[in-house]
Each structure stands twice: as structure tokens, then as C-alpha cells.
Amino acid sequence: MVWEEVKHTLRLGWPIILGNITQILLGIIDSAMVGAIHSSQLAAASFVNNLIGIPFILVIGLSMAISPLVAAALGEGDRDKPLRILYNGTWAVGIAATLLAILIHVGIDGVDYMGQDKIVAELSKPYLIWMAWGMIPMALFMAVKQFADGLGKTQMPMYLSLASIPLNVLLNYLFIYGKWGAPRLELEGAGIGTLFSRLAIMIAIVLFVWKGKSFEPYRQQLSQQLQLRKDRLRDVLRIGLPSAMQYGMESSAFAISGIMIGWLGYIQQAAHQIAISLAALTFMVSLGISATGSIRAAYAFGQKDKAKVRQIGTTIIWMGIIYGVLCALVFILGRHILPRFFNEEAQVLYYASSLLILAAAFQISDSVQAIGVGLLRGIQDVRIPTLYVSIAYWVLGIPSGYLMAFVLGMDVQGIWWGFVFGLSTSAILLSLRFLKLTR
């Protein structure tokens, strides 16, 4: 029975996992390609990726309400509801992403007051502007992807995500290094490449859903489905806003920590970018398992099968634990090898290898807390988990990291110990909450 649950989860989830990995690879590709120029470019990429992570995760978290609502509608046997959810959810996500992009563009000079090295601040501004506008097509892509995932049609979004990688590499090559007649823009060129890659996959996924035969059963009552309705917006916001806050709490904690690391120097920040990029890559698998758990739990929840929800959840939590152990071993064994894909400077490599040891320490808790959030979202429990996440990161994680780094003199490693404490607390609280509600 347990093995059947594992196979069902992997069958539904592997395209989601692979799609998530490809999206985080876009940021890693940017970092690796500009890191080959100089560590200051890598540090600026780190700073921007930390900073843009807060609004980006907010809009992505908002979109993640769509898949459990769609899956629950299928569990209820309602075929007209999914497209209504998508239409209203897309408006909510698109407006949020546009407002945040405008806010970042208008307030770009605020970068000068964040305590970064002058060279990092100057390199960051144009890259940040391009990445901010790139949030809009990415948010819309994710909204439609969540719709497809909720229907169990996970492979098409995965193929589009995979296609964005060679496109992004090609555009980066042109604009970072100034090849084939394009201007040499270095880090700013990476932002341009990422924006156009995201525009391409957004247009493609909209066309697939609008024209694809596999989605035809859900396009039967278009005049009624393509309407803004208060009840559908309310459903999306009821789950989406707390979900956005949950992911925003974690993302902003990492972002603020990244800014604090910039106070220590651009060498530490470059090393942090290497380690956090690798940790983010492994987290994308956990996030894919989490999304799959959310969809499966939501479907069982729509059928009012509480025992099935618990069975799905406990199996997926154990999958997260096993996966976390494997990732920890990879980081420990590869701590002196993996950083060399990003940079060859001795000091950067020294710090990065020590941070990978700490990344190994939180792999299990990072995986379990992501899965806990997804399972609870699947059964539409979002308010208490949001409180738990805020306590874990903002009451424990960041203050303890600051204390160890700047008061106890533990340097960048102190900030990362704060990650360990925050993620572990979140994993324990969210798992206990799920087990209590499905008892």
C-alpha cells in the first residue's frame, strides 16, 4: 500500500519536480555565467536574487492556490469550475506581479542604502530592473502551470520549462559576453536573457491551454467561465494570500540574511550565492513533492476522504525525509567540488565549502517543512501554518543568525546556523499540525 502511494506520487510529481528544477536553473545559469567574469558580478547576482526573491515568491505563492482548488473541484466532480478558478487567479497574480515590478523600478535607488559594496550596488541596479519585469511573465506562466498541474496534466508545463534552459543560455551568451553583434552587457545581459526566456514560455503555455485538445473538456462554457467573480477571487485569495505569506516569510528571511551577508563583504556574499543556489536546487525537488502532495491531498479532501488524506501525507513526509538524507550526503561529499562550477577564487571556495556543510545540516528539515506547507494547503488549512512559519523564521531564524554572525563573531557561518534553527522549527510545527488535523 505504501509503495503504491509512492509510485502514484512520483508518477504525478516527476514532471512538476523537473519543471521546478529547470526554473531555478535559470538563476543558477545567470550566476555561473557572470561568475566567470569576476566575483563582484557573482556577488551582485546574489544580492539581486535575494532581493527579488521576496516579491517573486509572493506572487508565486499566490498562484499556488490554483492547483489545490482545481484538484478539489475535480474531486467534487465539477468540470466547469477549474477554468473559472484559473481566470480569476490569473487576474489576481498578474495585477500583483505588475504592481510589485513598478514598485521595484520606481524605488531602484534604494539599493544604494542597503549597505552593499559600491561596486555590487552599481552592478545590481540594471539587473534588478530586468528581473523585476521578468516576474510578470513568470507569474502568469506559473498561474497557468498550476491550473494544468491541478488537472493532473503535468508534462506539458515541464517540457516548456525544459525548453527555456537552452533559450536562456543562448540569450545569456549573446548579451553577457556581447557575441554575434549583440552588446556586451555582462550582468545586465543576464537579466535581459531571463526576461525573454520567461516571455517565450508564458506565451507557449497560454496557447497550449487555449488550443490544446486535452484541455477542451474544460472550455465548454467560456462565456460563463471567463468572468471575474467575487466568490472565485475570494477562494483564490483565501488560500493564496496565506500561501504567499508562508513562502514570503521563508524567502524574505533568506533575502534579509543575504543582505546581512553583504555587510560582511562581497567574498562572503559570492560564497553565499554559490551555496544558496545549490540548496535552492535541491529545494525545488522538495517543492515539487510538496505541490504533488497538495494536489493529491486536495483531491481526497474534495472527496471528503480523511483517511486517504492522512495516508497520502504520511507517505510523502517519509519521502521528504529520505530525500533530505540523500541531499545531505551529496553536499558533504561534494563540498570541495561543487563550488568550482561557479568560481575559482580561493577565498570564495573556502567559504562556500564550509556553507555546504551547513546546507547539508538543514536538508531534511527544509524538505519536510516544504511538504508540510503543501499538505496543509491541500486541505485548505493556511492561517495557523502561516503563524508557525513566521515564528520559525522571524522569531528564531533571523535573530539567532544575526546574533551568531555579528555578536559572537561567527561570520557568514553564523547566518547559516540561523537557517538550520528556523527550518528545523518550521518542519516540526507543520508536520505536527498535519498529523493533528488528520488524526
CB contact at 8 A, 238 and 173: no
317 vs 249, which has greater pLDDT? 317
- Give the whole-angstrom CA distance, residue 131 versus residue 194: 7
Q: Point out the least confidently predicted range of 6-15, 333-342, 408-417.
A: 6-15
CB of 48 closer than 8 Å to CB of 128: yes
Q: Given this model, what pLDDT does residue 279 score?
A: 86
Give the integer Cα–Cα distance in Å for 278 and 102. Answer: 30
Confidence of residue 156 (pLDDT cuts 50, 70, 90): confident
Residue 338 predicted with pLDDT over 70: yes
Q: What is the pLDDT of residue 15?
A: 75
Q: What is the pLDDT of residues 219-273, one digit of tens each?
A: 666 555 566 566 666 766 666 667 767 777 777 777 778 778 878 877 887 788 7
Can you tell me which residue has the cell 553565499? Answer: 272
**Lookup: cell for 174:** 549573446
Residue 70 pLDDT exceeds 90:
no
User: Residue 155: which residues within 8 A CB-CB, separation 6 or more?
Assistant: 15
Q: DSSP per residue over 276-339, as a string? A: HHHHHHHHHHHHHHHHHHHHHHHHHHHTT-HHHHHHHHHHHHHHHHHHHHHHHHHHHHTTTTGG
* Average pLDDT value for residue range 319-328: 91
| % of the chain with per-residue pLDDT over 90 | 10
pTM of the predicted model over 0.95: no
Tell me the pLDDT tens digit for each residue of 374-407. 888 888 787 888 888 889 888 888 899 899 988 8
- How confident is the model at residue 166, as a pLDDT? 86
Q: Which of 140-154, 205-219, 262-276, 326-340 has the lowest mean pLDDT?
A: 205-219
Residue 296: the pLDDT is: 84
At 146, which amino acid appears?
A: Q
pLDDT tens for each residue of 171-202: 878 887 778 877 777 677 878 888 888 899 99
Neighbours of 85 (CB within 10 A): 25
Could you report the per-residue pLDDT of 111-134, keeping only the tens digit for each? 777 766 777 777 778 888 888 898
d(CA 378, CA 370): 13
Could you tell me which residues come within 8 angstroms of residue 9 by beta carbon, excluding any fewer than 6 positions away? 289, 292, 293, 296, 312, 315, 316, 319
**Residue 302, pLDDT above cutoff 60:** yes
The pLDDT value recorded for residue 218 is: 62
Rg (CA), the chain: 21
CB-based burial, 19-50: b 16+ in 10 Å, e otherwise: bbbbbbbbbbbbbbbbbeebbbbbbbbbbbbb
What spatial distance separates the first Cα and last Cα of the chain, rounded to whole Å?
19
Beta strands in 102-167 (DSSP E): none
pLDDT at 53 over 90: no
- Cα–Cα distance for residue pair 65/242, rounded to 1 Å: 9
Do the Cβ atoms of 50 and 259 come closer than 8 Å?
yes
Site of grid cell 525525509: 321
| Residue 125, number of CB atoms within 10 A of its CB | 17
Q: What integer pLDDT is reported at residue 327 of this predicted model?
A: 92
Position 382 scores a pLDDT of 77
What's the pLDDT score for residue 230?
67
